[in-house]
Structure 1
């Protein structure tokens, strides 16, 4: 029963208590958020003079969008009247009317803007727009393991100032562990805009919540239900199919979303770092938030101990004072630094530049938080209730005479057996979605593990009885060993969920054949599908495949549509803007 001083009649208190007792923790959190939003919307309506604020975001995986929504909620609480816009939906000229502007944008790969923000970014860099009436601040998301850390945010920040906008607070550059940095930036940025019209405080509604909902801040301990090696004996690849339980998690997903896996570092990785640092592992260290932990456990559970980056080397240099490392970090040694970083781990740098070792506190001060790894979900929730499936290639290679391996991919392959648990949470990807209409045809291009979301797409359409045609173009090395989910595709061809399948096995003939070659072989049909309204999807390697597929697509439109190169590029850009060309590349 709610307390007697709650602003309800006895009947209302009884009804509310009865309702709350029947809700799950996740449902209670949702209800709390809904009531808060309803209260906020009433407040906004009552304060029409609240100061307008544009929250502009550019996102690839959804992180910047989520932070933009959070920014708007906090701004509304501070009395602002925020609107949230995707860079894909605005032109640079639209910013002139913004007044107050907060920008949250990620950098993709090695310095590129998010795909959906490319048009806006290019326009902003080239167009002459008077932004002298705009006050702004930028929050840049990135990954310090890349050389061009936060480049897109840095570029936009500088360009806004060059076009006359007034920067009210310095740009904040955030690494993969961005929550605290974003919160600090937001507080400072909102304060810098001066007082907004304060909204009257809504009456507090105490809603009891039994436990924290599962999600990014509270990953779900998922049971490994099944793991199957997909490659045949004799393959040069190691691709696994994993089935994980979501029963009791309260989490949901849609085809196109990703699953975040929170890995643990392998024992041999931990031992390598301890050996290089001349430490035993029994030392106590303090973590963020003040918690204490045994060093070996912290290295296994909390820190990124493999990936070597310029940011890590700079922190190491502050401790090691190495002349050789100082030279590598010099501005005129970028090529040498790039060569050094390839294939080397943190332990290698410790051994070379700090041969006498470092203290436990110095070691954890050099390292960054172990980030989760995102994998495209390979299942439909309709076909596999309370489960989520992944298609993951184990990363193993040799560099500098030593065997190397990927942290998360080999964590799943080597350290997690059926029946054991993996910490996970679902990650929404609104930029990779099936068409709204089941009647719309789709073309899917996915070599290797890029097949994952398309397994989800086809399963989902099979479950919904979609009438739209589906065409899959898949590629890998060899037909005999590497035809991932072959029997499933044959079943879908039989039941009509998949209408066409073209395959490219690069090493089954003297001349290599790739998915883009299959696109060109079927250029007339592919263009005809596009003309009929088909959506075009690509998933897989960003460094080469995605570029080659994009070039093949432009060439097909150019040839089959009798268009110039510029007109074909405009056609493709139109597909992007209408969300008929979507990519999930990594």
Structure 2
């Protein structure tokens, strides 16, 4: 028999948690009783806060092993999912669940990667499909791992929390506009195109007026609940042979398809539904697709409308059809403004996503909603996603180096506006790249003016389509590597924003090369140097 060890009373919910004093004391006692088997006050506090979505992951001493961002070798967005899962083999369930996530810590799911995994493991989060960057691949991996929860002895039992009434005048537990679970409201003001005539891109500067309770800092992201294109919605309704006024969930079918469900890549549950309706070879094809197989080599291209075209004999009831779809997820965008220079306003820098598969034009739901369908005065459901280890240095004298090609410039425009507003004396260096200088030099006038005034100390540019040989920001970094190394020796903080799979990996490779060449280090020591910068908070990334 285990003999309990008495410890002094400790508050398990810290003072920084968003609760009144009465609620905090009550919750501490509740979790102390409900989660006792985890065996230590530290573990109790961590598990309790994970259950409430207000903590970071970490190992639980004396109890179940939780996932942690700091000790996870698979915590690298450049790694492919199979590679991450291979690295996590043999580890406890929570770390393996984390390895299935996209590793971007984007916050789009409402957690960072480790905390989402831990919340599933502790049975406080039942939704297994929230990892938007990971998409269907992550959802399948998580669902496959989650079946182990039914038989595991590691996990704590699910905890039902009934909070006492809040004191009069106290703040709400979840402030409006601070999470996807409690969105606020912003007014769409305007858009303007940033590309010149003839550009292959369509990049918009989007401006919002913020509603009550919405506050942000530079480095934060803005979550937007988009709406599907009405033309797309009506095509699906026509394929179903249904009336747009059919009542679903207390609303019309057209309204539900517009803003409640995703019409993107078809979920496995839709194929399962079709396998019950269809017969013959079509049924077997639908079953194979539901199992994650690709019998005809087109699975990656099948959105909801394409599935209806692929199986024209299937005509499910509208309600069953809607129930088989995934919820329409909010989209996160890096904020490109500073509240110090634009109080009450917020801006984004958004690329409209358009492409063709077969003969059908496809569009990005949120990017084209913001880029063409939202009209001035529209009220949008939104929230501010606080930055996770992506912020300006506390000392304004610190030099900053920013690498942001394409729309990756967004947070660095915000950084520059912020540093200018507070008259930060530290030098600023921006690396920006895009396709062509004449058409794709985003915020050209602003940046040139900052450079002319001496505020933007260095502006290094890279254009990938202006010559026969493609030239990227990482190539420019290597070209000026000696000076970049001097800045790092002077304590500069290094920031990167943009594509996680290719660009971010290539930029990190350039940093390692520069540390080796100009720092006189071996390759292994150069890798360790970059790793040390990350742990010290001097190498920060906002990648997607």
- 1:34-113 matches, within 5 Å, as 34-36=20-22, 39=25, 51-52=39-40, 69=49, 71=51, 85-87=56-58, 97-101=61-65, 103=67, 113=75
Summarize deviations over 1:83-104 as a string: whole Å, max 9, x none.
Answer: x5545xxxxxx65x33245558
Distance 1:370 1:45 in 2: 33
Instruction: Flag the 1:492–1:318 CA change in 2: closer, same or farther, 3 A.
Output: farther
Distance 2:488 2:292 in 1: 44
What is the DSSP-based 3-state SS (H/G/I as helix, E as strand, rest coil) of the residue aligned with 1:526?
helix
Alpha-carbon distance, 1:484 to partner: 0.3
Which residue of structure 2 lines up, in the alignment, with residue 23 of structure 1? none
Which residue of structure 1 lines up, in the alignment, with residue 153 of structure 2? 167
Distance 1:258 1:408 in 2: 15
Instruction: Flag the 1:56–1:529 CA change in 2: closer, same or farther, 3 A.
Output: farther
Q: 1:531 aligns with which of 489, 494, 504?
A: 489
Alpha-carbon distance, 1:384 to partner: 0.5
Q: 1:280 aligns with which of 218, 221, 243?
A: 243
Distance 1:122 1:520 in 2: 33
Which residue of structure 1 lines up, in the alignment, with residue 221 of structure 2? 258
CA contact (8 A) 2:74 2:88 kept: no
Summarize deviations over 1:458-513 as a string: whole Å, max 9, x none.
Answer: 11111111122111100111111110001111222234432111011111111111
Distance 1:393 1:56 in 2: 44
Q: 1:396 aligns with which of 354, 357, 361?
A: 354
Alpha-carbon distance, 1:244 to partner: 0.1
Q: Does 1:239 align with 2:214?
A: no
Distance 1:259 1:305 in 2: 22
CA contact (8 A) 2:203 2:350 kept: yes
Instruction: Flag the 1:32–1:521 CA change in 2: closer, same or farther, 3 A.
Output: closer
Alpha-carbon distance, 1:280 to partner: 2.2
Alpha-carbon distance, 1:555 to partner: 1.6
Instruction: Flag the 1:258–1:551 CA change in 2: closer, same or farther, 3 A.
Output: same
Alpha-carbon distance, 1:45 to partner: 13
Instruction: Flag the 1:264–1:564 CA change in 2: closer, same or farther, 3 A.
Output: same
Which residue of structure 2 lines up, in the alignment, with residue 474 of structure 1? 432
What are structure 2's unaligned runs of at least 5 residues? 1-15, 95-120
Q: Does 1:295 align with 2:256?
A: no
Distance 2:143 2:239 in 1: 36
Alpha-carbon distance, 1:319 to partner: 4.1
Instruction: Flag the 1:516–1:314 CA change in 2: closer, same or farther, 3 A.
Output: farther
Distance 2:144 2:171 in 1: 42
What is the DSSP-based 3-state SS (H/G/I as helix, E as strand, rest coil) of the residue aligned with 1:167?
coil
CA contact (8 A) 1:39 1:202 kept: no
Which residue of structure 2 lines up, in the alignment, with residue 178 of structure 1? none
Q: Given the two structures, how large is their TM-score scaled by the length of structure 1?
A: 0.72
Instruction: Flag the 1:217–1:204 CA change in 2: closer, same or farther, 3 A.
Output: closer
CA contact (8 A) 2:240 2:316 kept: yes
Q: Given the two structures, how large is their TM-score scaled by the length of structure 2?
A: 0.77
Distance 1:546 1:315 in 2: 40
What is the DSSP-based 3-state SS (H/G/I as helix, E as strand, rest coil) of the residue aligned with 2:207?
strand
User: More strand by proportion, 1 or 2?
Assistant: 1
Alpha-carbon distance, 1:313 to partner: 3.0
CA contact (8 A) 1:473 1:515 kept: yes
Which residue of structure 1 lines up, in the alignment, with residue 131 of structure 2? 142
Summarize deviations over 1:12-64 as a string: whole Å, max 9, x none.
Answer: xxxxxxxxxxxxxxxxxx998243465359869999x975265699xxxxxxx
Moved more, 331-340 or 460-469: 331-340
Instruction: Flag the 1:282–1:154 CA change in 2: closer, same or farther, 3 A.
Output: closer
Aligned length: 487
Which residue of structure 2 lines up, in the alignment, with residue 413 of structure 1? 371
CA contact (8 A) 2:23 2:164 kept: no
Which residue of structure 2 lines up, in the alignment, with residue 381 of structure 1? 339
Distance 1:332 1:369 in 2: 18
Distance 1:297 1:221 in 2: 19
Q: CA RMSD in A?
A: 4.2
